[in-house]
Structure formats: C-alpha cells, structure tokens
Structure 1
Amino acid sequence: MAMFLVSLCLVAVIILYFVNNPLNHSRKFMIRRFVNWFPLGMSYAFLYMGRYNLNVAKNAMGDMMTKEQFGLIFAAGTITYGLSFLLNGPIVDKIGGKKGIIIATLGAAIMNLCMGGATYLYLMGRLKTNMVVLFSILFALNMFFQSYGAVSIIKVKAYWFHVRERGVFGAIFGTLISFGVYFAFDWGQAIVEASKLHPTDTSWFTRTIQHLFAIDTLTTNATWLVFFIPSFLLICWALIDMVLLKDSPKEANFGDFDTADASSGDDENVKITMKLVLKKVFSSPIMYTIALVDFTSGVLRNGIMQWYLVFAHEMKDKDPVYYAGTEFFTKNWGLLLCLTGILGGFLAGMISDRVFQSRRGPPAAINNMVMVILLLVMSFFLLRNPTIVGSVAVLMTLAVIGVHSLMSGTAAADFGGKKMTATASGIVDGCVYLGSGIQSLAIGYLSAKSWQYWPIFLIPFAIAGLILSLRMWNELPEATKKYILKMEQEEAKKQGNAQSAPLADPAT
C-alpha cells in the first residue's frame, strides 16, 4: 500500500511537471528536460537514503549506540557537510552539475560500503576501535561527498528552468527530498527487519534478503545491509547519470535561454573565477538572509525528523501505553514524511509562483508561522497525548520542507544566478546542515536530561525563521522584476487591443 501511494505521488509530480509550462516550451524540450531532471532527482533521493540510514541503524543497534553517541556522529557529518560547500560549491560551478552528481553518488556509495563494513566488524566482535570515532570519520566523509549532490542538482536546474518555473521545480526538489526520506526510513527499516536472524515478517522482500545473503548462517543480525544496499543503488544511478544527464539545454542540442535570474545580462565572455564568485555571493545581503532562514530550517527539519523515532523508541520502555499511541507514526514514519513533504513542497512552490510572483519570502514566512504554532502545541502535549505529538511532528515536516525547498532549491539559485548557483546554493544548504549539527549536539544532550526540552529548544529557531522571512517578503532579482513588468505590459497591451477592436456586425 505504501509503495502504491508513493508511486501515485511520483506519477502526480510528473503530470504536474508537464502541465506547468508558463513559458510555452516545445513538447520535445519538456520531454528532454524530464529525461534530464528525473534521473538526477532520483540520484539525489537515494543520496538521502545513504544519509539517513544511520538513523535506522542506530535504532537497530539499540544500546550499542546511545543517543549521545548518535548525536556526536550525526553532528560530525552534518557540520562537515555544511563546511564542505565552501570548497565544492565553486568546484561544481566550474566543472558542472553532471560531474558533481557523479562524484556525490560514487563517493557516498564507497563511504556507505565502509560504514557497512565497520558495522559488520563491530557486530561480529572484531572491531576494537572506538565506535564513535570511527563512525564519525566515516559519516563525515560520506557527508562530504553527499554535499556535492544538492549543489549539482541546483546547478543543472539553473540552466534548464526559468525563474517563473522554479517555484514548481522547488516543489519537485522538495518531493525528491521526501522520496529520499521514505527510502531511508521505510525501505531502510524493511532492510533491517529482513536482515534479522529470526524475522517476524515473511514477505517476499524478507525471503529474498534472507536467501540472497544467507542470513540464517550468521550469528547476529545483518544490520550492515542497511548501508550496503543503498551503496549498490547509488552506483546504479551514477551509471544512469553518466548516460542521460546534460548540464544545459545547449549540450542537449537545444538553444540556451535567458532564465531571468541574477545572472541575466551578464557578459558571457567574463571569466568566472572563484574569487569573483565568492565576492558576489558574500557581498549580497539577501544571500545572508536566505542562508539564515535555511539555517533555522536545518535546526527544525532534523530536529523533528532525526529525533521523533528516537523519542518514540525510548518511550517503549518508559511508558508502554504512551508508546502504543506512537506505533502508527513509527511504522509509517518514512511514508508520512514523504507524503507531507511532497504536499508542503508543492504548496510552497505553487503559492510562490502563482500568488506572490515568484517571491520566496511570503510562503516561507507563512510556513514558519505554522511551525511556531505547532511547536507550542507539541510542548504542551509532549508527554500527554502521543497522537497529537505524532501529528504535529508530521505537519512540521510539511512546513519545513516548504521552507527548505524554497530557500536551498530556489531562492539561492534566483539570487546567485546560473553561473554562480552552485556556490550560492551550496552556502545556503551548508547553513542548513550547520543548523542540523547544532541541534544534533544540543538535543542529544538536552533529551538525556528531559524530552520536554526538545520542542522548547526548537521554538526560538521557528520565530527567527519567521522574522527573517518577513524581511525578504518583497525581494526579487532585478532581472525577474523586469521580466514580470514586461509580461504585465504585454498583457495590458493585449487587453487594450481587445477592448478597442470593433465589434463584428451581427448581420454578417
């Protein structure tokens, strides 16, 4: 059933992509662009699976990896991810998104193999090294390669999508993130269940995993498969990207077009150097605002997505009655995050393009306001009503994916321009994971004292995100303003001509 719903959402996303064509691109162009972004996007989704599988492995390993240890390991990876953009953003601007996504998928595949190997040695009792140190290093390296993924997908998007189309692409970007979360949590959990020595599930997937890897011959659960299987999938998508992906319409035998972002009107002969890119990005006040909004979204997104399952799992021993109320959410966590993330991304993107003339601030402000309210509700009901807490956690994902897809996936490209979009979006996305690293350390520490600190810690970041989003309410790149004004003048001219045209003689 879950797979059917996800597939249905994927079909709906594809249909919406083809329906949304405000620039009246040719059918041939729309199909070629789909062939470009779909494998690129699925590669990014499976990068997520190779990122959040650590969360699934932590719960599978139980007390062998405490939540404080998990917080340290995850923080090491996310902080590395955030700082990596200062290096790989300019690199992707120079080498292009195609090479960038191949580096991301192959690098992450190798690191997942290493983490799987370390898990195998640890569970077999052959690993004497400190687990926190080893996993922190491997996960940090995994996240270093992962960080090439986001900037690569946005780099390619910047050449293929006009500013007036990017709100919807931001929704597609949010959808891909949501698919990745589903793959990580639900597929990852299915792998964990199927890799147990004595599984309770007898589905075809479990039987296949059991026979394929001869798990009944082992002495412990084969938890390492939660790293090995995503690694194999990433290699497959890397090979597909090598064949199908093109960095720009020109490379696919179409003419490049003016995307009306911040690079519009730039001299094509100007040599783009790393110094020029960094100077332009770091001298832009709006880029700072976008980065700070996304910093708060990083705290909020992973503050919920990373810790809800840990919270629910811990309540299993502390309060079995309360835990019973969380079972619907824990069993369907990936699916719920996927569905609400898709809805949140599309609502934010379409509202931005169709209601606010491609301004990204208004829907971001609305979503942050929603999150402030949700967190207040969560604080009050945290240990009282598991259904309300689970519902709030899911709705938080709807709102925060809306913000993240608009900031990292869209606003950074709008204001950075297609020539510098990898650096701009990289810095913005880096702030997401710096925020994620901070919350990982903080909530790992605070929740050990009391879970009541969990939502209280997140509330100030939602308020800060709201204030910052309000500051960029009216912001648009100058080229976009000119484009919108031109379209409005042409529409007014058409209406004027229609009103002044003589009426046809009814007798004729």
Structure 2
Amino acid sequence: MSTAITAVTYVLIFGIVILACAIDLLHNRKPPNKYPFKFIFRRFLNWFTVGLTYACTYFGRYNMSMLNTPDVHASLGVSPTQFGVVITVAYFVYAICVVINGFVVDRIGGKTASVIGSFGSSIMNLLMGIFLLFTQIKGAGNVAILCLMYSLNEFCQSFCTTAICKVGVYWYHMSERGIFGGIFGIIISFGFFLALQVNANIKSQFHYSAIFFIPSVMLSIFSLLCVFFVRATPDDAGFPAVDEEIQQEQEENRRQQRENQQSQYIIQNQGEYSQGSSSTSAFIINSNSTSDQFQSLNQKEETSSLMKKIGSESKQDYGMPIKEVGKRILGNKVFFVLALIDFCVGWCRDGVINNMAMYFKMRWDASEDSTLFNLASTGLTVGSMFGSLVCGIVSDLFFHSRRPPVAFLSLSLYFICILITFFAQKAWIATLSISMTAFCFSGVHGIITSSAAMDFAGARATATATAWLISLMPASVIGALLVLPIIKEKGGKKPNQKSDNQSNAKDTEVDQFNLLYKDGQNSDQTGIQGSIEQSNDTSSTDHLIPMIKK
C-alpha cells in the first residue's frame, strides 16, 4: 500500500473522529437541552476517554482474527478448523460472562468496570504476545493455550462492553441518546480501524505477536486515564442530574445508604455498651455521641468530593437487586424485540469481521498489507462510523427516539449488500459492499445495544439490559459457526441424486469449473460463462459451490 494512500486513510479516519467531537460540543448548546459549557466540556472529556478506551479493547480483541490466515496456521501447526475453535470457545466465555458482569457493572458503576476491564485485557494481551513470540509448540497444544488466554481476555473485555452504556445513561437525556449513540458509535468504530487496518500494518512489518504487545500498552495507558478523568455520574463531578428520573433514583439511593450506615452504627454501638455497661446513663451518653457521629457522617459526605477530584469514585451502589432488575427487563416486551434484532446483528457483524481477511485472500488474492485489503478495512471503519451517526440522527429526529424502525431498515439494506458481496465480479464492488454492510450493522448495533437499552431499562439497570442484549451477539456467531459446515456439506447435494455415476459426472464438471474459474479471475470472464452454459446436467446452483467454499 503506497504511502500516499496510507496518509489519506489516516487523515480521513481521524478527521471523522474530530467531527464527532465537534458535533457533541456544539449540538448541546441548543434548546431544548441547553447546558452550560462547563458541563458540556466535562461530559465530552468523560465520554471521549471512555470511548477511546473501548476502541482500544477492539484493538486487543479482534487482533486474534488477524491471525486467521494460512501463514499463521502453518507457523502454529494448526488447521483453520482448529484455529476456529479458539475463537468459538472465547465467544462462549464472552456470552456467559457478559450476562453475569452486566449485573456487576450496574452495582460497581461504569468507571470502575472500565478500569477493571481495560487493565485486565492489557495483561492478557501481553501474555498472549509473549506466548506467540517464544512458543515452540505445534498443533493442539497451541489451541489449548490460546483458548485459555483468549477466553480470559474476553472475560475482562465483557466489563468494558457494558461500562460505556452505564456511564452514558447518566450523562445524556433520553431525547439525546440517539444522537449520542451515533457520535459515540463513531469513536467505537475507530476500534475497527485499530483492529483491522492498524493491526494489519503492524503484522506486515513485525512478527505477528506484535499485534498483541501494542494493544496491551494502549489499554494500560487508557485504563490510567479512566482513573483520573472519568466520572460515573454528573453528581460525582459536581453537576446536577440531566434527567429528573435519574435524579430521583440518585436521591433515593443516597437516602438508603445513609439509613444503612446509621443502622449499622447503632447496632455496633449497642453491642459494645450492652457488654460493657448496664446503666441507663451510659446509654444516654452513647445516644448523644451517636447524634454527633451522624453529624460527622454528613460532614464526611460533603468533603468526599475532594477524593472524587483525584479519580476516586464515590462508594455508592449504582444498581438495584437482581430480582427487580429481572422484572424491569424481562417484564418489558420491547426487550424481546430488541433481543431478536441483536441476535441477527451478531451473526451479521462478526461474520464479516472474522472472515474478511480470509475472504480477500482466497477470493481476490489480497493479503493484509495489500492496497485492496487496506481500502476494504478503511471502508469498514468509515461505514461503521457514518452508520452509527446516521441511524442515531434518524431515530431521534424522524422516529421520535424509536429504535426498531431504524433497525429494520438497516438490516434490510444489509441483506442486499451481502448478496452484492457474494456475487461481486469486481474487487472494487466487493470493497464497496463490505463498507455498506458495516454501515448497516454498526448503525443497528449502536441504537439497539446502547440507546434502546438505556431508554427502557433506566439508569440503574442499563448495564444488565445491555449485557443481556449483547450476549445474544456471540451466541448468534456460535450458531453461525456450527451451521456453516452443515451448509457447506449439504449445499452441493441434489435432492434426487441416486447413482454413483451421476455423482462422479457432477464432480468432474465442478472440477472443470474450478479450473476455469481460477484462470478466469485474470482473464476474460466469457470463457467461464460459456463452460457453465455447456453443463446441461447440472443446475446453476451447483456451479456456485466453489464460491461458497471460498
């Protein structure tokens, strides 16, 4: 890839990120949600830090997909199927852990969860890089070790997945969350750029283990930035809540915490005085001291803001009991509609991402450092960015903050784009259609797993709702991985196939098509079409088998 194209690509990507920042800083200055600039800037610093942290988790998550190439398979002594086991097992772990950790994130808050997830993922990427750099193992041993490490990495990243929504729900009003989801989606899609294009460039210049070392460093840096710059709620930063419902929840939460502290203090001191003294006067003295302690507790609450300024999150419970969470989420019919949509999005999104490198290598003979692959990676990133922004704006402005209609339109367009990708006879058409698929699935992912989850679940159950929705995405990918071999096996068999002679004849015709198709990629396509027309005993569907296998 030429230096000029690389420079243009990087300028384009970073320019879109700057555009997202400008939109957030400017659109909040207008009614009906006109905030003071001090609040707007503090909110921008908050989501920008969390957004880049999550982008770096993509940097350290999809790097494993960049190893899904024949040269790495040969180096590790594994087959494509064995390497697929590593990704599949990790998806199982992620699907399970994200459900559990969603409730945990609701209790500990978005800031703490983001720090835990990013730092943990940093450690696991470091360990995977060291292993791949020095390993002398071949075959199944590599599969087992990588399964363990990559699964632990997915466990850590499951904290960050829901943390971004947990932070956003407190800082953005419901009427802003569609556009916020779009702007935030641009920052998240920046992670695709890091995961696909930057990792591909790193792999082409260094040993493939480097695509784990560099994300590890980035994740460590941003975990520290989260500690010092991110606040879980506006209240932690000294601002009022943006939503009356959230403000009432916070006040109720603080009231319950004060009552619990007072009850615990009374119980502890009653126990001490019942053991040491039986006089009434002693108990009266103790009661007076108790009231003094209540005053000191209030003073401690006022001075706790000093600790918040240096990055210490207030010790409060941001969630609710799990029974109430389940009732709020599962009792809402909207959740099941969103769950079905997210299941489809998972199949679509990760199917494109995990197989894009192999698709361009085997279909167009384009390696990770080729111009074609880098253009496709750039298109994937740009498409993801604009997909999130457009879907968010359309949802808020044209559908009155309703998310499912936009999801339906996006998935319908995705179906058309994936058909174009499958039947594309020109490389530039395939590249453009890949970009449009990213536009579609990123837009749906943004408004469903962030905006919609925040809308119907409320602030104290946002992380759990997001986690339950996101867990369906790896589950759908697992289903795709299990079903795909069956499709490949059954797709080439005719229902009325009876004799061995017919089977051998069909195999001969398919072999002839393979040879002609391979030669035809660099020559006139009319020869292929003519050979297909001469095949009178085989249907047109059978001649697509080589393309399906590729």
Q: Which runs of 5+ in 1 are unaligned?
A: 196-221, 458-508
Which gives a bigger RCO, structure 1 or 2 (Cα 8 Å, sep 6+)? 1
Q: Shift in Å at residue 3 of structure 1?
A: 1.5
Alignment-derived partner of residue 411 in structure 2 = 368
Deviation digits for residues 437-459 of structure 1 (CA, Å, limit 9, x no counterpart) = 322444477569899689999xx
Instruction: Calculate percent identity across the aligned residue pairs.
Output: 27
Question: What residue is the counterpart of 2:240 in the other structure?
Answer: 255
The residue aligned with 1:23 is 33
Alpha carbons of structure 1 residues 286 and 261: separation in structure 2 relative to 1, 3 Å: farther
Q: Tell me if the contact between 1:163 and 1:260 (Cα under 8 Å) persists in the aligned partners.
A: no
Q: Counterparts of 1:35-184 in structure 2 under 5 Å? A: 35-59=45-69, 61-63=72-74, 64=76, 65-122=78-135, 125-126=136-137, 130-184=141-195
2:218 to 233, 242, 253: 233
Worse-superposed segment, 326-335 or 139-148:
326-335
CA-based RMSD of the aligned residues comes to 2.8
Q: Is the contact made by 1:113 and 1:227 (CA closer than 8 Å) also made in structure 2?
A: yes
| Distance change >3 Å, CA 437–CA 285, structure 1 → 2 | same
Whether the 8 Å CA contact 2:179–2:392 is kept in 1: the answer is yes
Q: Distance in 2 between matches of 1:190 and 1:80?
A: 29
Deviations 1:299-349 (A, max 9, x none): 001111211221121236xxx5xx59x954412333221111111000000
SS at match of 1:307: helix
Per-residue CA deviation, residues 40-94 of structure 1 (Å, 9 max, x unaligned), is 1000000000001111123351434433223221121122112112211111110
Under a length normalisation based on structure 2, what TM-score does the superposition of the two structures give? 0.71
Name the SS of the counterpart of 1:359 in structure 2.
coil
Amino acid at match of 1:137: L
Distance in structure 1 (CA, Å) of the matches to 2:476 and 2:390: 24
- 2:278 paired residue number: none
Of 16, 33, 58 in structure 2, the residue corresponding to residue 9 of structure 1 is 16
Aligned pairs for 1:288-299 (under 5 A) are 288-299=336-347
Question: Take 1:409 and 1:229, find their aligned partners in 2: how far apart are those partners?
Answer: 28
Q: 1: distance between equivalents of 2:412 and 2:138? A: 48
8 Å CA contact 1:412–1:424 kept in 2: the answer is yes
Partner-residue secondary structure (3-state), 2:61: helix
Q: Secondary structure at the match of 1:189?
A: helix
Query: 1: CA distance between counterparts of 2:234 and 2:146?
Result: 41
Does residue 1:284 correspond to 2:269, yes or no?
no
Over 3 Å counting, the alpha-carbon distance change for 1:135 and 1:395 in structure 2 is same
Q: 1:400 to 1:128 in 2, by over 3 A?
A: closer
Q: Secondary structure at the match of 2:208?
A: coil
What is the count of residue pairs matched by the alignment? 421
C-alpha deviations, 1:381-436, integer Å up to 9, x for none?
15x33332332222101011000001111101111111100001111111122122
Q: Which residue number corresponds to residue 217 of structure 1? A: none
What amino acid maps onto 1:57 in structure 2? Answer: L
* In 1: Cα distance, 2:158 partner to 2:473 partner: 11
Residue aligned with 2:463, SS: helix
Q: Contact 1:100 / 1:148 at 8 angstroms: preserved in 2?
A: yes
> SS of the counterpart of 2:460?
coil
Change (3 A) 1:180 1:416: same
CA contact (8 A) 1:75 1:437 kept: yes
Structure 2 portions without partners, runs of 5+: 1-6, 257-318, 493-542
Question: CA separation in 1, counterparts of 2:427 and 2:487?
Answer: 20
Letter in 2 for 1:439: A
* Partner residue, 2:196: 185
